[in-house]
Amino acid sequence: MRAGNGPIRAAIIDLDGTMLDTVPDFHVAINGMRAEFNMGPISEEQIKHMVGKGSENLIRGVLALDLDAAGVEQDFAAAMLSYQRHYLAVNGIHSVLYPDVVEGLDALRGLGLRLACVTNKPLAFAAPLLAKKGLAPYFEVVYGGECLPRKKPDPMPLLRVCADFGLAPEQVVAIGDSSNDAEAARAAGCFVLTVPYGYNHGRAIHETDSDGIVNTLLDAATLISSHNTTAN
């Protein structure tokens, strides 16, 4: 990790593809919605490449597999309502924690870091999901995709967390699975670490500019710990 002006005091952690593999929930909800619109089921692999830029983008992409641009706009509002109903019914049932997420959050907290979750997922999905998986108590603040006027890759939600915590961006690290997280962090002036196991729009994470690739959140904590030792 590159040298900073001092120790890292907070971590902003992404949700889908970083803490939880949520594609199995998306899969059930999206195919439930598609069935209502007389569209055939699609695969988890197809969905994986469309997750990351929020629900609206996801549903537009899913409809565009079968419809032209005008058709997408015509069905969008009803499809969104159907999808939301299906997603809320399934939220957290099929999704699973990635390895060493809880251990990593414990380790980050053990380093004295303040923790925030910033996701492009709507808060109405993210909050019950974090609670169901036992992750909610780790986070002082959670921002969903609709909580602020602009979402990742815009730096706005990350800068809001920095302001909430009274920290400068160079005292904060963002940890995520996609170029959205990395671009938002770079634009905010935060450090960024990426995990290689999530959903990066079908691209290798190595193509994304970051301060390091970590195999787990526990590895992220180890790296931050050594950074802070040399920065003190």
Nearer to ligand PGA among residue 94 and residue 231 (C-beta):
94
**Could you say which of 10, 13, 16, 160 contacts Mg ion (CB under 5 A)?**
16
Residues 194 and 181: beta-carbon distance below 8 Å: yes
Q: Does 209 belong to an annotated binding site?
A: no
Strands in 120-181 per DSSP E: 141-143, 172-176
Q: Which does 53 bind (CB under 5 to 8 A by kind): Mg ion, ligand PGA, none?
A: ligand PGA
Which of 3-11, 41-49, 151-159, 172-180 is the region at the interface with Mg ion (rule: CB under 5 A)? 172-180
16 is in an annotated binding site: yes
**Residues in a beta bridge with 148:** none
Q: Does 25 bind Mg ion (CB under 5 A)?
A: no
Residue 212, SS3 per DSSP: coil
Q: What angle do CA 109, 52, 137 make, to 5 degrees?
A: 25
Q: Helix (H, G, I), strand (E, B), or coil: what is residue 133?
A: coil
Task: For Mg ion, give the closer residue by CB, 72 or 139.
Answer: 139
Asked if residue 183 binds Mg ion (CB under 5 A), the reply is no
Partner from ligand PGA, Mg ion, none contacting 29, C-beta within 5 to 8 A by type: none
- 68 catalytic? Reply is no
Judge contact between 194 and 214, C-beta under 8 A: yes
Active-site entry in 14, 21, 75, 181? 14
CA distances from residue 165 to 81, 110, 113, 114 in whole angstroms, order as listed: 35, 18, 11, 8
Q: Interface with ligand PGA by CB under 6 A: which residues?
A: 14-17, 51-54, 58, 119-121
Give binding residues as ranges: 14, 16, 177
| Site of interaction with Mg ion (CB under 5 A) | 14, 16-17, 177
